[in-house]
Structure 1
């Protein structure tokens, strides 16, 4: 790809980020003045911003399936930070994110003002997070989680952790499984994944220096949560995503082993 096209992409993304900062700044001001600072409004404006950010990224996006008409706990496999704007543009949503994101320059502040919930691994805050998630869902606000707990290269699926789905069971909110897949030249995209010791700036440079790739987002059939154990619900969601991505379910022996860990 030519240098000028790469630079043009960077300029476009920077413009969108500046727009996001102005929106987040408005939210911050509304917080101080205690006026019109509702989560529903935050989610609507965040979806609007995510749509513009997604349009500035080098992806052709194909979405299949039906958007839910009621608040749900969305569960998705996790490949890259770009999963967030690509899913966030689909509907008014909030996200559960690792605490490290809160410290990212610009992006961390944007995420906070967008209503993101942050979880610190191994901090003993799981009950507090589950309570916050439950309150969020009871307020009829959809929430997205990545129950693998980390990103992958898109070629496999890790175990979905059942404890992250407890809030759906406690509130009776259905689970919306989502499968997201990045494809380049008919093969799993090796540029889109954001894994290991990768940093955001380097990842952005790689994305903008290469041609447009494809992203397939599948909204799968919702799963009722009432009356289910959290491990069983997690595995049901995992199976749905596994089949959508790779065409085959997890082997029963693997499921039983993972159930003990959850």
Structure 2
């Protein structure tokens, strides 16, 4: 009974938050003020609190611009959690635009939608991302191209790393910072998750969204690490495949650090 009441109250809180802030963000975007809007950051901070996440940030987002953040991807909740640390936008697959509710939220956060499986459009999509980078927007790339089980990092796809090079080649930027980010779900009710319980947080593509959301709401106490690694500043001629390998290695190392319980400093 208490669990059902909590879920109902959280859902009511989420609905109230959306009704209060989504129209404001929509208006700001329409009048051209959305670029400087911090509303998504505060929106997601409240959402994370309602869902019961406790966020531990290690390191910090670099102040260098243009900036491309490269992250692993475990769940739809990654977007909420990463959005709490700064004013960012996401590079998302095209299907997300059509998802109920989440598609609208992605549009309001000025996501760039890409078709990962259409290689003929890679250059065009990289150019679009490059324009946003040079305009000062911090873009997040989920380089695995899908969600993992949270216990490992999948191989990074290299195609969209070309956006960093395109920002230099096409827009005249001298350098672009590319920073690795690891998101790791570590504890459930204060107890280390381990492989058995990590599916509570992870969201493989074959799991329906609403049952997974209900599972998160039932638990209501999940610790998550967000780790920022050392950025790589690239210049003209940087090999995107080597850049992807470097980012993959660094994200994997940070994920293992959290899974093994090391470096629990908190900011």
TM-score tier by shorter-chain length is 0.7 to 0.9
Deviations 1:124-144 (A, max 9, x none): 321221010010011111100
The correspondence for 1:47, drawn from 34, 38, 41, is 41
Q: Residue 38 of structure 1: CA displacement?
A: 4.2
Q: In structure 1, what is the Cα distance between the partners aligned to 2:161 and 2:33?
A: 25
> In structure 2, do the counterparts of structure 1 residues 138 and 211 end up closer, same or farther at CA, with 3 Å as the change threshold?
closer
Residue 148 of structure 2 corresponds to which residue in structure 1?
152
1:118 aligns with 2:121: no
Q: In structure 1, what is the Cα distance between the partners aligned to 2:4 and 2:49?
A: 20
Q: In structure 1, what is the Cα distance between the partners aligned to 2:12 and 2:100?
A: 18
Residue 215 of structure 2 corresponds to which residue in structure 1?
206
Q: Mapping of 1:1-262 within 5 angstroms?
A: 2-27=3-28, 30=30, 35=31, 37-38=32-33, 40-42=35-37, 44-71=38-65, 72-123=67-118, 124-171=120-167, 172-183=175-186, 184=188, 185-188=191-194, 189-226=198-235, 227-247=237-257
Q: Residue 53 of structure 1: CA displacement?
A: 1.8
Q: Residue 187 of structure 1: CA displacement?
A: 2.3
Q: TM-score, normalised by structure 2?
A: 0.84
Q: Name segments (4+ residues, structure 1) moved above 4 Å.
A: none
Q: Residue 225 of structure 1: CA displacement?
A: 1.8
Q: Residue 108 of structure 1: CA displacement?
A: 0.7
Give the number of equivalent residue pairs.
241
Q: Residue 175 of structure 1: CA displacement?
A: 0.6
> In structure 2, do the counterparts of structure 1 residues 67 and 39 end up closer, same or farther at CA, with 3 Å as the change threshold?
same
Q: In structure 2, what is the Cα distance between the partners aligned to 1:67 and 1:11?
A: 33
Q: In structure 2, what is the Cα distance between the partners aligned to 1:62 and 1:107?
A: 24
Q: In structure 2, what is the Cα distance between the partners aligned to 1:232 and 1:81?
A: 28
Q: In structure 2, what is the Cα distance between the partners aligned to 1:162 and 1:122?
A: 12
Q: In structure 2, what is the Cα distance between the partners aligned to 1:190 and 1:122?
A: 27
Q: Residue 48 of structure 1: CA displacement?
A: 2.3
Q: Residue 198 of structure 1: CA displacement?
A: 1.6
Q: Residue 12 of structure 1: CA displacement?
A: 1.6
Q: TM-score, normalised by structure 1?
A: 0.86
Contact 1:39 1:141 (C-alpha < 8 Å) held by counterparts: no
